Chain A
Amino acid sequence: MKNIKRVFIYVFLSLAAIVSIFPFLWMLVSITNKSSDVTKGRLLPGTHLIENMTTLFESVDIVPALVNSTIIAVITTVVTLLLASLAGYGFEIHRSRGKDIVFNILLLSMMIPFAAIMVPLYRMFGSISDTAPLFGIDSLGAVILPTATTAFFIFFFRQNTKMFPKDLVEAGRIDGLSEIGVFFRIYMPTMKTTYAAAAIITFMNSWNNYLWPLVILQSPEKRTIPLLISNLGSSYSPDYGVIMSAIVIATLPTALVFFLMQKHFVAGMMGSVKG
């Protein structure tokens, strides 16, 4: 009886693992095959890798999309980390009744569905297009601004600040550091792992964001990687090998981040529910 149960568990988990991994294998095999072979269900590596990559980099022109996505993801990550950690620190270390009320109101914004605010946001950025083109419609600035401030990461930093030794703040003050100095000189270096976890999640969210860039970006040279892939995917005569190559390249950074920083990654996920 016990053995049957064992066997069942291994079979079940193996099936789950195969289902999870199969699309990845198929993707990796497909980038080496011709489009016609992919549709024939070929599951063996082919010799078409270089042709697929050449098409991707020359005719599809993936480079500008990679550059745009990188710029947006890096700036979004830096701004989010700075603003959210400042706020999380402020709410926890300089706790007051007023701030607790404000914090709870901010948390409510996490319930706001993006679809509900995208039209007003689009109109808002439309209205500043003439005066501030860097932040108007079809600008990378407009992609970054609304995504770089989320209550989630303020909450995240506040939760993690609860474990930050408050004595260090006192020590810093006695040493004559200003309040801002305590934050930059003591808090930031101490909380490196929290920053790492938040950075991974922000970067991935930004790198993969689809709806808002789709709404606000218009010209082809401004488009990000998800927009490019979506575009390729909806074409009437898709070149499967090339599209799979684009998807592999788009997934590489997030997959790498995940494998290199697994611990931080999981810590980041858990940090959002602690406390």
Chain B
Amino acid sequence: MNQQATKKDELDLPLRYKETRREKTGVFFKKKVGWLFVIVSVIAITIFNFYPMVQAFLLSFQSGMGSNLEYVGLANWQRLFGDPTFIAALTNTSIYLLIQVPLMIVLALFFSVLLNDPNLKFKGFFRIAIFLPCVTSLVAYSVIFKYLFGVDGIINVFLLKFGFISETINFLADPFWAKVVIILAITWRWTGYNMIFYLAALQNVDKSIYEAAKIDGANSIQQFFQITVPMLKPIILFTSITSTIGTLQIFDEIVNITNGGPGNATISISQYIYNLSFEYTPDFGYASTVSYVIVILVVILSIIQFRVAGEKK
């Protein structure tokens, strides 16, 4: 605290020198000028983020069609637990989260460790190749995956040609395979992105630690778990939180690969909110209730991840 106070005084010092010259502007302005830099952003974020959050909270206790809304107390919240589409959306989103995020983070860690090997050839090529999917937009790669795995898509053509299957699989019309395709798609798009974070972090790890471990007889697997993972813990935490928040809100991929189908086998919470608001007869109140489920999940999961990362220290 003390340090901060002196730092602030230092900053204000040159302003005081000028007081004689600019006395008219007043001490008040000089003290408050910093606020001028931040005020527009503060107001904008309040209007476009915090205020809608409050509105959504109020809406979650209202019901009605379109803009004819009235307060219904906790009715929306009770409706949640008996709503099969919501349960399906929540289950699907949890499946995506529980399988895709760990799968992607492990893969990304693995790639980064392999690529960090100073003796590896074609390192630049591998790095760029694995990162390349990140330049595609979510909609674009979703449409590509939809076609790759379509009935007459190239995956089916290949599998037939090489005799893995005897007749085409309609991946996207099968509740199980449709989920698999979505998980594969997200993993394809984001693994390289996370890998770049780990690669950069690995460059800051002191090489002598590995040398010491080698002398102590640690093999590469032991080195990975005993040195690499603990050293990268902060960045792994960061990427798992951003990936979790991202996957919880998954929308673009679902809409463009399966549109939630077959039935509601792949629908996500975000897509359900969208459908409730803009596809079905608009029910903004109930949609807001569902959206608060995502808010609650984001908060809970972030807290858990922080706790877990903190304990392992």
Question: Which residues of A does B touch, CB under 8 Å?
Answer: 9, 12-13, 16-17, 19-21, 23-24, 26-27, 38-41, 43, 83-84, 86-87, 89-91, 93-97, 99, 102-103, 106, 109, 111-124, 145-146, 148-151, 154, 166, 170, 173-174, 179-180, 183, 207-208, 210-211, 214-215, 225-226, 229-230, 232-234, 238, 240, 243-244, 247, 250-251, 254-255, 258, 266, 269-270, 273
Contacts and interface: CB of A to CB of B under 8 A. Distances in A.
Given A13-B114, A251-B137, A99 B45 contact: no
B148 A23 contact: yes
A273 B51 CA distance: 27
A95 B188 contact: no
Contact of B248 (A113, A232, A234): A113
Nearest to B220: A5
Chain B interface mostly: helix
A186 B21 CA distance: 22
A166 B12 CA distance: 12
B14 A115 contact: no
A95 B11 contact: yes
Contacts of A103: 38
Interface stretch (B74-82, B174-182, B206-214, B284-292): B284-292
A90 B36 contact: yes
Given A83-B40, A115-B269, 7 more contacts: A23-B141, A40-B157, A86-B37, A94-B37, A96-B8, A119-B288, A124-B52
A119 B76 CA distance: 16
A234 B11 CA distance: 58
A83 B53 CA distance: 22
B302 A111 contact: yes
B169 interface: no
Contact of A234 (B4, B44, B256): B256
B43 to A, nearest CB: 9
Given A90-B38, A113-B294, A117-B49, A210 B139 contact: yes
Contacts of A266: 196, 200
B126 A16 contact: yes
A237 B148 CA distance: 16
A251 B135 CA distance: 7
Contact of A116 (B33, B152, B295): B295
Interface stretch (B97-105, B273-281, B304-312): B273-281
B139 A13 contact: no
B291 A234 contact: no
Interface pairs A-B: 9 shortest CB-CB:
A94-B34, A90-B37, A41-B157, A208-B137, A120-B52, A120-B55, A117-B52, A233-B143, A17-B129
A27 B143 CA distance: 11
Given A89-B37, A115-B273, A215 B252 contact: no
Interface of B: 4, 7-8, 11, 14-15, 17-18, 33-38, 40-42, 44-45, 48-53, 55-56, 59, 67, 111, 114-115, 117, 120, 125-126, 129-130, 132-148, 150, 152-154, 157-158, 161, 188, 192-193, 196-197, 200, 235, 238, 245, 248-249, 251-252, 255-256, 259, 269-270, 273-274, 277-278, 284, 287-288, 291-292, 294-295, 298-299, 302
Contact of B49 (A40, A109, A269): A109
B299 A111 contact: yes
B137 A254 contact: yes
Contacts of A40: 157
5 contacts: A9-B117, A21-B129, A21-B132, A102-B42, A166-B11
A99 B38 contact: yes
Contacts of A247: 140, 143-144
Given A86-B38, A229-B140, A113 B295 contact: yes
Contact of B34 (A90, A208, A240): A90
A96 to B, nearest CB: 6
A83 B41 contact: yes
A99 B80 CA distance: 40
Contacts of A232: 143
B154 A26 contact: yes
A273 B235 contact: yes
Contacts of A9: 114, 117, 120
A9 B112 CA distance: 12
Contact of A19 (B145, B188, B248): B188
